[in-house]
């Protein structure tokens, strides 16, 4: 093999992995599905899912990567030697590579929106956010979605940013960039939380998030699926990042840290969103809101500009979301690129350019499927579920690819890897692992049942995206 494998510093690994986890899933998706599921109990179930399912799988992924110092396909090939199923396990790695490619192609379209709205907010802040602007936010967003040139431009711009970081490599690119972006994101979010604490809706936001309500069976499954997506699990992103760490650090502590950071950021983002939403009188609210995926762009600007200092908060908010998205797209691209580097022996430059451009190409179809192109917009291979290339890719990834990948990763680490290997990895840099059997049985039983239940519901026609 050609180049020596790069690696993260200890802190660099935690920040990069947290950067992967913290993304649109935390700031865009978590708040609106929490809203759709009535808050309180959904949050509680989500927390339980992070502890019982997310954390064990996170440890398993990092362990697989660090043990082999390889990206998913090669890692499975190495660890599956002499294990039942043998080389077949590499399929889980291939599935992960394909999943990364699929998610990145549409994720970067949404990431592009955040850059566009950052720019729009700057203009609004200077020219004035007039009542006329506020009244037409929905129409403006609709027009933006239907504008093919804008959609493609911002998607391509975001892909270019992502590729630039990946080109610079693991420590000079990913680590260096996430180490700047993540602290900035955190400070911005804390500032926004403080600002929202002064808004009239803050109290209601707190009680909405933290008092128990009723929850449906689908809500429970949605919480589990969201935990997976939010923690970047199920496609080997953490295997890939884990392959760049050393045995000096504790996988248990790092995984815990990443889970805590991811969850805290999701809760903070929700607090900000709900504070501004609940600042509007309830009567007025009923007509204005639907808990939809577009809330971030159709409703939030108006609310942010209502805050004292709104001209400052609004662009800041979208900048923050763009940063969160970038540290996630980086991880998605790295999974695919590292496959070509590790398994096929390509140079990073070539792998990044080829993979990046092909992904940008697929994303163009997604970008045009939001109204710009009739055929792409109504294409619905999965029937009643989200129509359009964009909706279909999202449906495919969140309902099939990630759960199936996560299911097999859990099975592999729970039943097929030896106790000697897993214990050794989990104790390296940390000392005796008293809860080892709890971890092992979580992977053997709890995770497969919970994830299997999701897959079962999806087979029956449910959709969780």
In the complex with ligand TRP, the residue whose CB is nearer, 26 or 369, is 26
Q: Give CA–CA dist 379/18, Å, rounded.
A: 35
In the complex with ligand TRP, the residue whose CB is nearer, 359 or 373, is 359
Least Cβ distance, residue 266 to ligand TRP (angstroms): 8
Counts for the chain of helices (H) and strands (E), in that order:
26, 0
- Dihedral (CA of 318, 182, 157, 269) sign: negative
In the complex with ligand TRP, the residue whose CB is nearer, 332 or 387, is 332
Chain mean position to CA 7: 23
Least Cβ distance, residue 404 to ligand TRP (angstroms): 13
List, as one string, the DSSP characters of 135-192.
HTHHHHHHHHHT-HHHHHHHHHHHHHHHHHHHHT-IIIIIIHHHHHHHHHHHHHHHHH
In the complex with ligand TRP, the residue whose CB is nearer, 110 or 442, is 110
In the complex with ligand TRP, the residue whose CB is nearer, 21 or 152, is 21
In the complex with ligand TRP, the residue whose CB is nearer, 79 or 336, is 336
Q: Give CA–CA dist 317/108, Å, rounded.
A: 18
- Taking Cα atoms as reference points, which of 177, 105, 107, 127 lies closest to residue 323? 177
Least Cβ distance, residue 163 to ligand TRP (angstroms): 16
Please list the alpha-helical segments (H only) found in 231-250: 237-242
In the complex with ligand TRP, the residue whose CB is nearer, 277 or 336, is 336
In the complex with ligand TRP, the residue whose CB is nearer, 332 or 417, is 332
Least Cβ distance, residue 335 to ligand TRP (angstroms): 7
Rounded to 5°, the CA angle 426-398-385 comes to: 165
- Taking Cα atoms as reference points, which of 278, 336, 254, 219 lies closest to residue 21? 254
9: which 2 tokens?
């510093």
In the complex with ligand TRP, the residue whose CB is nearer, 209 or 235, is 235
In the complex with ligand TRP, the residue whose CB is nearer, 314 or 331, is 331
How many C-alpha atoms does 275 have within 13 Å on its Cβ side?
Answer: 21
Measured from the Cβ of residue 81, the count of other Cβ atoms closer than 10 Å reads 10
Q: Give CA–CA dist 46/222, Å, rounded.
A: 9
Least Cβ distance, residue 164 to ligand TRP (angstroms): 18
Least Cβ distance, residue 99 to ligand TRP (angstroms): 7
Is residue 40 within 8 Å of 210, Cβ to Cβ? yes
Least Cβ distance, residue 65 to ligand TRP (angstroms): 13
Least Cβ distance, residue 145 to ligand TRP (angstroms): 20
- Taking Cα atoms as reference points, which of 133, 66, 50 lies closest to residue 305? 133
Measured from the Cβ of residue 49, the count of other Cβ atoms closer than 10 Å reads 23
Q: Which residues bind ligand TRP (CB under 6 A)?
A: 20-21, 23-26, 229-230, 232, 234-235, 237, 328, 331-332, 402
SS3 286: helix
Least Cβ distance, residue 46 to ligand TRP (angstroms): 13
DSSP secondary structure letter of residue 9: -
Q: Give CA–CA dist 325/414, Å, rounded.
A: 31
Least Cβ distance, residue 79 to ligand TRP (angstroms): 20
């Amino acid at each position: 093999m050609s180049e020596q494998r790069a690696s993260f510093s200890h802190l660099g690994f935690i920040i990069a992995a947290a950067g992967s986890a913290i993304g649109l899933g935390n700031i865009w998706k978590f708040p609106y599905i929490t809203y759709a599921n009535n808050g309180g109990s959904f949050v509680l179930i989500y927390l339980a899912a992070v502890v019982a399912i997310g954390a064990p799988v996170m440890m398993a992924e990092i362990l697989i990567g660090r043990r082999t110092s390889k990206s998913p396909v090669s890692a499975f090939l190495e660890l599956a030697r002499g294990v039942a199923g043998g080389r077949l396990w590499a399929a889980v790695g291939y599935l992960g590579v394909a999943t990364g490619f699929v998610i990145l192609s549409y994720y970067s379209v949404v990431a592009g929106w955040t850059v566009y709205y950052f720019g729009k907010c700057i203009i609004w802040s200077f020219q004035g956010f007039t009542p006329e602007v506020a009244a037409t936010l929905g129409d403006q967003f609709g027009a933006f979605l239907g504008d093919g040139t804008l959609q493609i431009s911002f998607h391509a711009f975001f892909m270019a940013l992502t590729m630039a970081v990946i080109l610079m490599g693991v420590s000079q690119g990913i680590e260096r960039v996430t180490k700047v972006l993540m602290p900035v994101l955190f400070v911005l979010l804390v500032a926004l939380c403080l600002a929202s604490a002064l808004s009239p809706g803050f109290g209601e936001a707190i009680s909405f998030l933290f008092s128990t309500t009723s929850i449906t069976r689908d809500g429970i499954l949605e919480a589990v699926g969201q935990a997976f997506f939010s923690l970047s699990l199920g496609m080997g992103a953490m295997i890939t990042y884990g392959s760049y760490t050393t045995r000096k650090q504790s996988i248990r502590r790092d995984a815990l840290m990443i889970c805590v950071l991811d969850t805290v950021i999701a809760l903070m983002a929700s607090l900000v969103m709900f504070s501004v939403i609940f600042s509007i009188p309830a009567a007025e609210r009923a007509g204005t809101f639907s808990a939809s995926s577009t809330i971030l762009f159709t409703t939030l600007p108006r609310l942010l500009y209502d805050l004292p200092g709104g001209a400052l908060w609004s662009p800041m908010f979208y900048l923050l979301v763009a940063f969160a998205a970038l540290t996630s797209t980086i991880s998605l691209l790295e999974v695919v690129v590292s496959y070509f580097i590790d398994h096929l022996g390509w140079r990073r430059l070539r792998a990044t350019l080829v993979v990046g451009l092909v992904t940008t190409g697929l994303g163009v179809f997604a970008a045009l499927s939001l109204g710009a192109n009739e055929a792409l917009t109504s294409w619905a291979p999965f029937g009643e579920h989200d129509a359009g290339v964009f909706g279909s890719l999202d449906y495919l990834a969140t309902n099939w690819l990630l759960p199936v990948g996560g299911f097999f990763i859990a099975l592999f680490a729970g039943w097929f890897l030896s106790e000697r290997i897993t214990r050794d990895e989990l104790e390296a840099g940390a000392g005796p692992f008293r809860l080892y059997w709890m971890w092992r049985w979580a992977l053997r039983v709890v995770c497969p049942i919970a994830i299997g239940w999701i897959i079962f519901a999806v087979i029956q026609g449910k959709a969780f995206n």
